[in-house]
Each structure stands twice: as C-alpha cells, then as structure tokens.
Amino acid sequence: MSHAHIHFSDSKYTTNFLEPAVANKAYKNLQQEIQYVPRQNLTFTIYGKTFPLPRDKAFYGDVDADGSYPLYRYGGKDYPPVQQWTPTLQKLRDLIHEKTGHFCNHVVVNKYVNGNDHIGLHKDKTRDFVNDAAVCTLSFGGTRILRLKHDQTGVNKDFDLEHNSLFILGSETNANYKHSIVKTSQDCDIRVSLTFRNIATRADRQGKVL
C-alpha cells in the first residue's frame, strides 16, 4: 500500500488499497451484482442542451425497513431511488471504514466502458453531507486519469486511478479544486468506480425529502 498527498492534507491517494486477491474477487462479484441504470435514462444539460450521461450509474446505500434511503442531490437531476447494498458493496464499505475511519452510508457506482466515457470538471455538492465528510472513491478495472484543477491558479494535478486504488477527497480540497475523469483516445479497459459518501439527508420510498 502506498500513499500520495496533494496540497491539502485532507486528501490522499492510496494504491493497492486491498489485498490483491480481495480486490480481484470484489471486482468479479461487482460485475455480477450491480444493476446499472441505462445511461439513456440519465441526462445532463450544458449550455442549454441535454445529453445522455457518458457513463453507466447505479445507486446503493443504507435503505431502512420503511424504504427510506440517504438522498444525495447533485446536478439538479432526479435520480432513481437508492437500492440496498449488495453483499460486495457492503463489505467494501465496511473495509473502507475499518482502514480509513471514514463511515459512508451511500455509494454511486460509475462504469466507464471506453475512453469516451468521462466526468467533466465539477465540485461535489455538499449540502447533503454529514458535516464535512470526505468522499472515498475505490477504483477497479482499467486505469483512468483523475484531474484536479485549482480554482485560482488553474494548475492541474493528475492521478492515475489504478485498479485497487482509493482516492479520498477531503472537504477543503473539494472547496478549492474542481475534479474530472478525463476523456482519452487511448484504448482502455472498463473501469468501475465506487464513490462512497456519508449523507445526512434522507428521502422516503417515493423520493420525498424527509
């Protein structure tokens, strides 16, 4: 396991986060367990034009017996209700808590099938977070570049998010940098990322904020 810090000490990049056999088994299991929302069902709008989301997504977390779930609101979009953890997602959530001390009750799964799938520069919306909770992204499969761009200087800092790596984005870093998963014309394997958060806001089974 190796670590790299960026300008703010609240963020950290760790390679070989899990034992290799554990990571490989988890990735195999995730390919069987995750039920993605078809990308054509999720859109984003830029400069007044609406486009399909350039990646596949799924939403999981702590769903109570009454159907209520942690609600992470971002991008002004209505997303499908959160599903209860799969066995592998719950195990990975628990391992992150055990190894880093960061507790999370919600995860967004993103699948990038090729180099054209990406996320543009943005900041994580924090209105639903528990206090100043960090964001923990665990990566599986192909390597993709995470780019941090400083708000004031415009300077970029790139990280190769490898299979079995964990990037912890702290609140101070999020306040001062935008981040993205960069498009690439190079051939790359499918990447699956698990972005874990600790969410305070909850919604009922119909999606109404409680």
HEC assignment per residue over 93-136: HHHHHHHHCCCCCEEEEEEECCCCCCEEEECCCCCCECCCCCEE
User: For 62, phi and psi rounded to 5 degrees?
Assistant: -80, 95
User: For 122, phi and psi rounded to 5 degrees?
Assistant: -165, 170
Is 133 domain-assigned? yes
What's 59's domain CATH number?
2.60.120.590
Cβ neighbours around 196 below 10 Å, total: 27
**Structural domain total, the chain:** 1
Distance CA(155)–CA(66), nearest Å, equals 47
List the 177-181 sheet strands across, edge first.
Answer: 119-122, 177-181, 144-150, 156-161
What stretches in the chain show pLDDT beneath 70? 1-8, 44, 46-47, 75-78
In this prediction, residue 85 carries a pLDDT of: 99
Is 86 domain-assigned? yes
Is 208 domain-assigned? no
Take residue 180 and report the two structure tokens written for it.
């993205």
Q: Which domain holds residue 185?
A: 2-203
Is 56 domain-assigned? yes
Q: At what angle do helices 87-100 and 20-33 cross, to 10 degrees?
A: 140
Burial 89-115 (b: 16+ CB within 10 A, else e): beebbebbeeebebebbbbbbbbbbbb
In this prediction, residue 6 carries a pLDDT of: 58
Is 209 domain-assigned? no
Distance CA(70)–CA(175), nearest Å, equals 22
Q: List, for residues 98-146, the tens digit of each pLDDT value.
A: 999 999 999 999 999 999 988 888 898 889 999 989 999 999 999 999 9
Is 132 domain-assigned? yes
In this prediction, residue 78 carries a pLDDT of: 62
In this prediction, residue 166 carries a pLDDT of: 98
Is 162 domain-assigned? yes
Is 210 domain-assigned? no
Would you say 160 and 147 are in contact if contact means Cβ atoms under 8 Å apart?
Answer: no
pTM of the model: 0.92
- The one-character DSSP state at 167 is E
